[in-house]
Amino acid sequence: MTTRRELFKFAGGSAMGLLLTPAPWRLITDTALWSENWPGIPRPARGEIRAKFTHCGLCAAGCAVRARCVGEQPVSLAGVEGGLCPFGVTGHHLPYHPERLKEGNRQEAAAAMAAAAMAAAVSHSTPERRVAVLDLRPGRTASWTYRRAMAAIPNGCYLAPEEPACAVNLAAAATVLSLGAPLLDGWGRLSRVFAARPNFRLIQAEAVESRTAALADQWLAVQPGTETVLGRAVAGQIGTQQAAEVTGLAAEQIEQVARALRENGPALIVAPEMTSEVLAWNLPLGGWGKTVLPRREAPVPGNWGKAAPVTDWATLKDGSLGALLIDESVPGAHLPWATIQPKLAADAVVVAFAWSRAGYARHATHVLPTAVYPEALGDLPAAIDATAAEFRLTVPLVAAPGGMTDPVELVSAMAGLDAKDALHERAAAIYAAGRGSLRTYADGKSTAVKELKPDDFWKGLNAGGSWTGGPENCGPAPKLKEAAWPEEDTGALWPFRLATEQPGAATLVAPLMAKLSQESRLRLAPHSAAMHPRDGFEEGARLVLETPYGRCPIVAALDESVPPGVVLVADGPEIADIRSADGRARVVRI
Amino acid sequence: MRRNVFIFAGVLAGLGAGWAGFPRAIYTSRPEPVDFSHKVHADKAGAKCEDCHGFRDDGSFAGIPTLEKCAGCHAAPMGATAAEKHFIDNYVTPGREPQWLSYARQPENVYFSHITHVKRAQLKCEQCHGNEGTADHLRPFEQDRVSGYSRDIWGGQGRPGMRMADCVDCHRRSAVRGSAQAGERSCLDCHQ
């Protein structure tokens, strides 16, 4: 008779025996794999895998993108002829950003109210109450439509940030002095920058050791906000001794840099904004036609000639804008709100075309949601490293949800313009010019425009192709006015200098990037400010950052790699709203 | 002695169940919809792997061919086998796509780039798929009851495994760019 005790012995023996087999370990593995498919875990679409091509619309560089799609859904983005920055790689997540403005029940009513307010502003416009469009990314076909619309509207004006004074050709440079430009971190097209990188020596002048500074051949740790002074010294506009006192570098170091640029040419000086002053520093180095070139624009239809010019902010009277329409549907330059607000009338209508509430939507009277990259069809302005005219489309990879506003359509309708086919018309004008070639990425071929039919040219562009105009004569070097010198800052009122991480790349960041940056501390979290321990604040101290334009709360994160006197913050709309060109700042305790 | 008999018996039963019974019980086995012969197609028709499992113009891998591809040759019987007759009667004539069961299908969160491995790394098909291309019959598809994955992820019979560790091992052995040795690893290369 088998006893209960013996049965337990048998069961114990069986358990021991099973432990010596793969069964329990496989069950653990299988259960872990099964848990990947629990209900509630998002499952990517199944279907045929295809490749689509487009251009990244997250910055003006507009890198060519190969999107791997399952069915119609993009699941992975990669650069076509080289790298793609981390923001570009995760660009297809943006349509699902939790902070995205979505269509609401009142969306239709909100759009109607905004349209009515704009129509009223247009009908009541006077030279003292003008209607304006602020285009944050000038140089697009949409920009032309805005300019045409503002020319058609009485008292209309077109506002835009200053466009670069020139294009650069890194491939022709042997020595590059970068005055704080994030050259290796998304400033130009990464594929071109890294293709040219082995052939030039990079000297990075920057207060903090940015990623570009870390990868440069030489890093000059200048005092924050004094990069321009170094540029002037290298160009011989001021003495090296004087520059040494301001920048904190040794006079011999500055002379050495100037000598390297003169003797190891072709040389190139770049800055985050390629202003006419930076161009002027390049001319004596013999860079014109080699490392610095005129910016070329793709041909436009002849009947677009009647377009409003860019209105200079300085000439705009305070309180003279009765309506301001801000196109924030594509990321671009951010003008501090403190510079915009004085120009508005007390009861001005401000309409922000935006995909999130983080930017100008905070200040607008009406906010209309727009499509986000990669949903919207548009074109890109010539990149900073475009050596010839270019025309590239941001071809949509996914359809935009319903209820999104097309700012171009709305503004053109307000002016009575028919601009629905503006992109197609522009492409037809480029085709009619008959020069240049179309590069299609699927087969890697370049075909002369003359060998294509008009329809094939348009189809090629819509398949993610890129038109490049042929080489053109640069002409004589431009004669430039001497730049005005900024006002002196004794340092007593503004003892700190504000430096930002990855400037201009903060408004559109996929949630994955935010998660990675928070968990890995690869990037500073919003509202965190890296400061040197000698600045006198303790870790985690709650502070207020003040600049001539405003104030913003920050939390101190001590970091010995940040020079004393520098406040290093993550870029973002709040920081962009208060940042001045020279970075003057002070920090106070709450 | 009798005291330990039950323990030994239990151990033996556990070992038997774990080594012999468990592998049979954990998998479900399903036949493919058509008994396709790679051997016949390779030997008699002279077909190469890429004739049916090719790349599209955009570089993406076409995978298992669709009915359209098969019907190009098999609109009418080319031989006298029962398998071909079954295929034509049940799939080609009614225009019904066969629901092939893929042995080497990756889970949803992973993408395996065939073109990178075949065109760039010059790997032969059989290095990963074993002797599949010369087999006269299709094996039944075995699926793990718990995880839902194909049995082939564990490798065997001349095929390497398909787990992430297997990918990493192969890349380390080959010292390819992107391997751990090169210090360049990107999650997004494979995980989507």
Label residue A28 exposed, middle or buried (CB < 10 Å: 0-12, 13-18, 19+).
exposed
Place of tokens 């076909």: A141
What was the pLDDT predicted at A291?
93
Q: A123 falls in which pLDDT band (50, 70, 90)?
A: confident
Q: To which residue do tokens 């993108």 refer?
A: A65
**Whole-number pLDDT of residue A207:** 85
**A-chain residues within 8 Å CB-CB of B192?**
44, 68, 75-76
The burial of A347, by beta-carbon neighbours within 10 Å (0-12 exposed, 13-18 middle, 19 or more buried), is given as exposed
A423's CB contacts (< 8 A; 6+ apart) are A141, A377, A378, A379, A393
How far A185 CA lies from chain B's nearest CA (Å)? 18
pLDDT category, A450, cuts 50, 70, 90?
very high
Which CATH number goes with the domain that contains A72? 2.20.25.90
The residues with which A439 forms a beta bridge, in sequence order, are A446, A466
Question: Cβ contact (<8 Å) for A442 and B148?
Answer: no
Out of A275, A293, A311, a domain closes at A293
- In this structure, the answer to whether residues A401 and A368 fall within a common structural domain is yes
Helix orientation angle between A454-462 and A422-433, rounded to the nearest 10 degrees:
120
* A306-346 tens-digit pLDDT: 899 999 888 899 999 999 999 999 988 888 888 899 999 99
Q: A432 in a domain, yes or no? A: yes
Q: A152 and A172 in one domain?
A: no
Give per-residue pLDDT as tens, B43-66.
Answer: 888 888 988 998 887 778 888 999
- Domain assignment present for A483: no
Size (chain A), residues: 590
In A136-189, where does DSSP find H-type helix?
141-152
A481 falls within a domain: no
Cα–Cα distance for residue pair A130/A136, rounded to 1 Å: 19
Mean pLDDT score of chain B: 86
* Domain-embedded: residue A385: yes
**Does A187 share its domain with A205?**
yes
Model confidence over A495-529: pLDDT tens digits? Answer: 888 888 764 544 567 777 766 665 655 667 778 88
CB burial class (10 A; 0-12, 13-18, 19+) of residue A112? exposed
Domain tally for chain A?
5
Neighbours of B28 (CB within 10 A): 13
Sheet holding A130-135, edge to edge: A156-159, A130-135, A321-327, A344-354, A366-369
- Going by the DSSP 8-state scheme, the letter that residue A52 receives in this structure is E
CA A360 to CA A323: how far, in whole Å? 14
Query: Looking at the structure, do residues A309 and A334 belong to the same domain, yes or no?
Result: yes
Chain B residue numbers touching A26 (CB-CB < 8 A): 22, 26
Pick the residue from chain B with its C-alpha nearest to A444: B58
DSSP symbols for B137-176 = SPPPEEEETTT--BGGGG-BTTB---SHHHHHHHHHHHT-
B19: chain A residues, CB-CB within 8 Å? 21-22
Interface test with A, best of B4, B8, B15, B149 (most A CBs within 10 A): B15
Residues near B68 by Cβ (< 8 Å), separated by ≥ 6? none
Report CA-CA distances (Å) from A217 to A155, A205, A220: 52, 11, 10
Does B19 contact A21 at a Cβ distance shorter than 8 Å? yes
- Residue A481, pLDDT > 80, answer no
User: In this complex, which of A18, A29, A33 lies closest to B14 when CB atoms are compared?
Assistant: A18
Which residues of chain A make contact with B184, given a CB cutoff of 8 A? none
pLDDT of residue A519: 61
**Which one of A29, A44, A442 has the shortest CB-CB distance to B109?**
A44
Cα(A426)–Cα(A423) distance, integer angstroms = 5
- ipTM exceeds 0.90, yes or no: no
Q: Do A346 and A312 lie in a common domain?
A: yes
- Judge whether A427 lies within some domain: yes
- Enumerate residues 6+ apart whose C-beta is below 8 A from A75: A44, A45, A68, A69, A92, B111, B192
Q: What is the pLDDT of residue B27?
A: 93
Pairwise CB contact (< 8 Å): B14 & A29: no
Task: Give the CATH number of the domain where residue A115 resides.
Answer: 3.40.50
CB contacts under 8 A, B 53-92 vs A, are 56-61
The reply to whether A171 and A154 lie within a common domain is no
Establish if B1 touches chain A: CB-CB under 8 angstroms: no
d(CA A119, CA A413): 10
A5 CA to chain B: closest CA distance, Å?
10
Tokens of A513: 């990037």
Nearest-CA distance B82 → chain A (Å): 31
Examine the domain organization and report whether A268 and A307 are in the same domain: no
Specify the pLDDT at position B20.
92
> Domain check: are A311 and A217 in the same one?
no
Within a 13 Å sphere around the CA of A589, how many CA atoms are in the beta-carbon half?
A: 7
Q: Is residue A102 part of a domain?
A: no
Query: Does A68 contact B111 at a Cβ distance shorter than 8 Å?
Result: yes
Of A359, A276, A332, give the one whose Cα is nearest residue A146. Answer: A332
Indicate whether A128 and A246 sit together in one domain.
Answer: no
Instruction: Check residue A411 and give its pLDDT.
Output: 92
Q: Where are the alpha helices (DSSP H) in B45-180?
A: 49-52, 67-74, 82-87, 114-115, 125-129, 164-174
Range of the domain at A262: 167-293
Query: Is there a single domain that holds both residue A187 and residue A157?
Result: no
| Residue owning tokens 């556990």 | B14
* Alpha-carbon torsion (A577, A579, A580, A584), positive or negative: positive
pLDDT bracket for residue A47 (50, 70, 90): confident
Region B131-147: mean pLDDT is 91
What pLDDT digit, counting tens, does each position of A147-172 carry?
A: 999 999 999 999 998 888 899 999 99
Give the nearest chain A residue to B55 (CA atoms): A50
- The predicted-structure confidence for A178-192, as pLDDT tens digits, reads as follows 998 989 887 888 888
Query: Cβ atoms within 10 A of the Cβ of A396, count?
Result: 18
Closest approach of B188 to chain A, Cα-based (Å): 8
Contact in structure between A67 and A74 (CB atoms under 8 Å) = yes
- Please state, as a whole number, how many other Cβ atoms lie within 10 Å of the Cβ of residue A139: 21
* CATH number of the structural domain spanning residue A272: 3.40.228.10
Contacts of A19 in chain B (CB under 8 A): 14
Enumerate the residues of chain A whose CB falls inside 8 A of the CB of residue B111: 49, 68, 75-76
Question: Shortest CA distance to A82 belongs to which of A170, A194, A169?
Answer: A194
Tell me the average pLDDT of chain A: 87
- Kindly report, residue by residue over A347-356, the tens digit of the pLDDT: 899 999 998 8
pLDDT of residue A505: 47
Is A484 contained in some domain? no
Report d(CA A146, CA A414) in Å as an integer.
Answer: 11
pLDDT beyond 70 at A246: yes
User: In this structure, which amino acid lies at residue A76?
Assistant: S
Q: Is residue A558 assigned to a domain?
A: yes
Same domain, A400 and A305: yes
- pLDDT 10s digits, A211-236: 899 899 999 998 877 888 999 999 88
Q: What pLDDT does residue B189 have?
A: 74
pTM over 0.90: no
**Residues A307 and A441 occupy one common structural domain:** yes
Angle among Cα B115, B191, A443 to the nearest 5 degrees reads 30
Q: How confident is the model at residue A106 (pLDDT cuts 50, 70, 90)?
A: low
Spatial distance between the Cα atoms of A143 and A367, rounded to a whole number of angstroms? 20
The amino acid sitting at A12 is: G
> Under a CB-based contact definition with an 8 Å cutoff, are residues A452 and A438 in contact?
yes
Q: Which residues pair with A354 in a beta bridge?
A: A369
Q: Please report the sign of the dihedral spanned by the C-alpha atoms of residue A549, residue A583, residue A85, residue B165.
A: negative
**CA–CA separation, A366 vs A114, rounded Å?**
6
For A387-394, what is the mean pLDDT? 93
Q: Assess whether the previous peptide bond of A301 is cis (omega < 30° from 0).
A: no
CA distance B7 to chain A (A): 4
CA distance A85 to A89: 6
The reported pLDDT for the residue numbered A343 is 94
